[in-house]
Amino acid sequence: MAVHHQVCATALPLILFMANGMQRSIVCLLATLWITNQVKSEFISRWMIIVFSIQYPFYLVLSATIGLYGHARQVVKYSSWNPTARK
């Protein structure tokens, strides 16, 4: 079992080096999900890992969208939005 982990740990950088763009993102996503499954707690069921695997890509897209939107507002120095505007 330890040899398998060692082989995967040494093969991943090579795979990432050979992949490009979208392929690299998919490889990283799959590697993250695989590692999460390998180090899961004894209290986590197989069903919980499946649900997490389905939800995780959407979480990443949502987080990236929120980050890009907030960063774009900071770059253009958008400040006319006032959440506590009073008349």
**What are the pLDDT digits (tens) for 71-85?**
777 777 766 666 676
Is the Cβ–Cβ distance between 46 and 27 less than 8 Å? Answer: no
Hey, how many other C-beta atoms are within 10 angstroms of the C-beta on 19?
14
Distance CA 56, CA 35 (A): 13
- pTM exceeds 0.95 for this model: no
Distance CA 74, CA 68 (A): 10
pLDDT grade, residue 55 (50/70/90)? Answer: very high
What per-residue confidence (pLDDT) applies to 10?
57
- The total number of residues written for the chain in this structure: 87
Hey, how many other C-beta atoms are within 10 angstroms of the C-beta on 70?
10
